[in-house]
């Protein structure tokens, strides 16, 4: 793979861990960033990754993170933005500050990370920035306005960046993850095999996108289990 160092933001168990392992296996150096890195120690050790605590919704925190990465010769040429926050409920019962946080974490923080990354990628005309979306990125569900706002905004960012930065050599991709992801807390019932997305399988599609030559780039890819309604 034609990349060297991947930064995964919103790293925690689940998809981020699968992505980190798959990218490490492909030979990349891995950097993990999350609000809290306590739970990342075992993974970081396993794949020899560095981990950084960072509240990506704060511009100053994102600046500091990238400054430290530059200083450590770990400036990423792959960035995967994987963080989100949501609050659910009837529209009239939502807590405004929770709604604000949903937009901040799911979209504004993604902008901050993507901007810092793009500043470093553009001079070399090389790099990739991948965003993790959801069903809510393209369909606003009842009782879930905050997630729709955050994920629609993230998709708008990704599409605008694709139009602007692809012709400058930066691969921008947006994944629509449509369905639940299997985890320790969420397992498949035996009468519905493969009804949850396997995070390792998702990671293989991210790897494929990073492998695409620039004459055939995907901007958007949907992934869902075979039995998922859509």
Q: Are strands 50-53 and 5-9 parallel, antiparallel or unpaired?
A: unpaired
Nearest to 115 by CA among 172, 72, 71, 68: 172
* Helix axes 96-103 and 145-165, enclosed angle (nearest 10): 20
**67 belongs to the binding site for its own copies (CB under 8 A):** no
Tell me the per-residue interface mask from 13 to 42 with its own copies, x by CB under 8 A, - otherwise.
------------------------------
| Rounded least distance, CB 19 to its own copies, Å | 13
| Rounded least distance, CB 29 to its own copies, Å | 24
Residue with Cβ nearer its own copies (37 or 145): 145
The answer to whether 20 touches 80, Cβ cutoff 8 Å, is no
* Residue of the chain from 16, 79, 155, 210 that contacts its own copies (CB under 8 A): 155
| Locus of tokens 């405004």 | 96
Residue with Cβ nearer its own copies (50 or 155): 155
Q: What is the edge-to-edge ordering of all strands in the sheet holding 127-134?
A: 50-53, 29-34, 5-9, 78-81, 127-134, 170-177
DSSP 56: T
Pick out residues in 191-210 that bind its own copies (CB under 8 A): 194-198, 201-202, 204-205, 208
* Residue of the chain from 42, 71, 73, 142 that contacts its own copies (CB under 8 A): 142
| Rounded least distance, CB 23 to its own copies, Å | 16
**217 belongs to the binding site for its own copies (CB under 8 A):** yes
| Rounded least distance, CB 48 to its own copies, Å | 27
Q: How far apart are CA 188 and CA 84, in angstroms?
A: 23
**182 belongs to the binding site for its own copies (CB under 8 A):** yes
DSSP 200: H
Nearest to 40 by CA among 48, 51, 54: 51
**101 belongs to the binding site for its own copies (CB under 8 A):** no
| Rounded least distance, CB 81 to its own copies, Å | 13
Tell me the per-residue interface mask from 121 to 140 with its own copies, x by CB under 8 A, - otherwise.
-x-------------x--xx
Burial (CB count within 10 angstroms: exposed 0-12, middle 13-18, buried 19+), residue 185: exposed
Residue with Cβ nearer its own copies (50 or 171): 171
H or E segment at 158? Answer: helix 145-165
**91 belongs to the binding site for its own copies (CB under 8 A):** yes
Pick out residues in 43-62 that bind its own copies (CB under 8 A): 59
């Amino acid at each position: 793979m034609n990349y060297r160092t991947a930064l995964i933001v919103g790293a925690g168990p689940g998809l981020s861990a699968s992505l980190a392992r798959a990218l490490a296996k492909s030979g990349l150096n891995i950097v993990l960033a999350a609000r809290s890195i306590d739970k990342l120690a075992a993974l970081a050790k396993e794949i020899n990754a560095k981990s950084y605590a960072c509240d990506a919704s704060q511009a100053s925190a994102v600046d500091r993170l990238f400054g430290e990465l530059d200083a450590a010769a770990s400036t990423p040429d792959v960035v995967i933005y994987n963080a989100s926050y949501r609050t659910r409920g009837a529209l009239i019962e939502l807590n405004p500050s929770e709604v604000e946080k949903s937009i901040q974490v799911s979209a504004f923080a993604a902008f901050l990370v993507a901007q810092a990354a793009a500043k470093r990628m553009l001079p070399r005309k090389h790099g990739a920035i991948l965003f993790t979306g959801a069903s809510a990125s393209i369909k606003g569900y009842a009782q879930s306005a905050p997630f729709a706002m955050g994920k629609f905004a993230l998709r708008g960012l990704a599409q605008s960046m694709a139009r602007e930065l692809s012709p400058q050599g930066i691969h921008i991709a947006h994944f629509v993850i449509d369905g639940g992801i299997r985890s320790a807390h969420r397992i498949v019932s035996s009468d519905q095999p493969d009804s949850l997305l396997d995070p390792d399988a998702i990671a293989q599609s991210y790897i494929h996108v990073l492998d695409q030559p620039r004459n055939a780039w995907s901007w958007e890819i949907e992934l869902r289990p075979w039995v998922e309604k859509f």
